[in-house]
Amino acid sequence: MLHHQLSKSAACISEEPVVTGLLNQALRDQISLLKQQPATALTLQQSFLAIADQALTERDDAVLIEKLFVDAYEEAMKVLRQAQLHEVEMTKQYINQHGLVMSVLNCTTTIKDVHRNTRFYKGIFELINDLQQRDSQINIVYPACGPFAPLLLPILLYMDQQKIISPQKVRISLVDIQPGAIKSLKVLVNELQLNDYIDGIYEADAALFKGNKAFDIFIAEAFQHGFSKEAHLSICRNFASQLSHHGVMLPCKIMVNAALVNCQREYVEQWLQPQSDAANPILNQDTLNERIELGNILTLDRYSLLTLDIIALGEQQVVRCNTVSIPQTATDVSELTLVLYAEVMTYNGHWLQQYQSGITHPLPMFSVCIDFVPKAPAVDGLLLTKKDKIDFYYKLTGLTGFLPTKADEEVHYGAN
């Protein structure tokens, strides 16, 4: 009987390579942590203070900066070990009605993203200073914050240590759907000695959570490249209605644009040249000039959230986005691929540009074929000519992302 159960279990795991990979990586991480010194509150605090300080001082040493973020990651991972998560709490990843719910393990690496974190630290630092001039108390919420709340806790600790803020002035709510993330956050906040700032650490779906007061700042970053997969738009729709009259969402603006590119040039050849700063890649100007920019398909800010054109398609919903066309000056586009890329402005002009982060890498849309017919068409393949205009819709489903359609095709409202 036992042999039968083990065989059945092994068969289930072998059928899910993604799950197996997550389990293997979790075990490797735990083995690695056994070789390291246990975390101390002091070393953890020092590592978080170091990455916040570099964001504000803008050092030029790329190697040093990258090491600071790796150190912060390693210290945070020690805390994760202290939280004693079960295997399923560490590796469970699934799709719910709003989008992909990342595993706790897969969320841990965000703290190593130099440019993403730096733009958020600068934005949060300046925004809190701005709001302190007029508000007696600033209420901040960070939904879908993961196990480390990496976009907030380091700069919060820095501002506390510098006596810029106090628990009487700044109040924090952290929200995540993963039980393992909640366990980690409670240990991390305690080790950072930031408990006095915390109004609550809530286990809840960020797209549904309702706070008991208006928030002055909400921080959200729950999407992957091409503004895909996760529930960022649904989370923003939920919290936009919970902002105070003068409240601010971070990032303040996300712009998603479309372009036609030569994939070989875009993704391979332009990166063959040595980069003077690997952490801050410089796009090849010739490659940029070869692109055919089609324009903006969605701009997301607090005000556009209030005017989204949402269409019901049976039980599903999509957001009507912009229409683009291929410039008449374009010649042969049959060798080009449609890509979507996001650029992110946290606050006060602090932009996260293409390729500076995983979330701003261009996403190729291989199912869209312009002026050619593939030998093996995709199930969802879209055949276009360069004379066609392209309508974009954004799917508010468990499989979030953009849906391009031929502009003259009719969308049937309320269709089953």
Taking only the tens place, the pLDDT of each residue in 138-159 is 999 999 999 999 999 999 999 9
Comparing C-alpha atoms, which of 95, 139, 107 is closest to residue 29?
107
Determine the average pLDDT of the residues in 40-55.
96
Q: Which residue has the higher pLDDT, 60 or 231?
A: 231
For residue 1, the model assigns a pLDDT of: 46
Tokens describing residue 74? 């390693």
pLDDT attached to residue 9: 41
CA-nearest of 181, 178, 22, 109 to 358 is 109
pTM, to two decimals: 0.88
Q: Tell me what the mean pLDDT of segment 198-223 comes to.
A: 97
Give pLDDT, residue 10: 42
- pLDDT at position 122 is 98
CA distance 205 to 230: 12
* pLDDT beyond 70 at 279: no
Q: And the tokens for 348?
A: 């006060």
pLDDT in the model for residue 35: 61
Least confident of 94-103, 202-211, 377-386: 377-386
Q: How many CB atoms lie within 10 A of CB 44?
A: 21
pLDDT of 312 > 80? The answer is yes
pLDDT confidence band for 88 (50 / 70 / 90): very high
Nearest CA to 360 among 237, 256, 214? 256
Compare 24 and 351 and report the one with higher pLDDT: 351
pLDDT per residue as tens digits for the range 1-15: 444 444 444 444 445
Q: How confident is the model at residue 410 (pLDDT cuts 50, 70, 90)?
A: very low
Average pLDDT, the chain: 90
Are 52 and 162 in contact, with CB atoms under 8 Å apart? no
Residue with the larger pLDDT of the pair 13 and 214: 214
Over residues 351-393, the pLDDT tens digits come to: 999 999 999 999 999 999 999 999 888 899 999 999 999 999 9
Mean pLDDT of 300-325: 95
C-alpha to C-alpha distances, 7 to 10, 12, 21, 333, 339, nearest whole angstrom = 5, 9, 19, 52, 44
Contacts of 197 (CB under 8 A, 6+ apart): 156, 160, 167, 170, 171, 172
Cβ–Cβ under 8 Å, residues 334 and 372? yes
Q: Under a CB-based contact definition with an 8 Å cutoff, are residues 232 and 221 in contact?
A: yes
Of the listed ranges 6-20, 202-216, 286-300, 399-413, the one predicted with least confidence? 6-20
pLDDT at 22: 67
Chain segment 246-260, per-residue pLDDT in tens: 999 999 999 999 999
Q: Which helix (H) or strand (E) holds 324?
A: strand 316-325
Whole-number pLDDT of residue 13: 41
Of 280 and 200, the structure prediction assigns the larger pLDDT to 200
Contacts of 347 (CB under 8 A, 6+ apart): 122, 123, 124, 126, 127, 248, 250, 251, 252
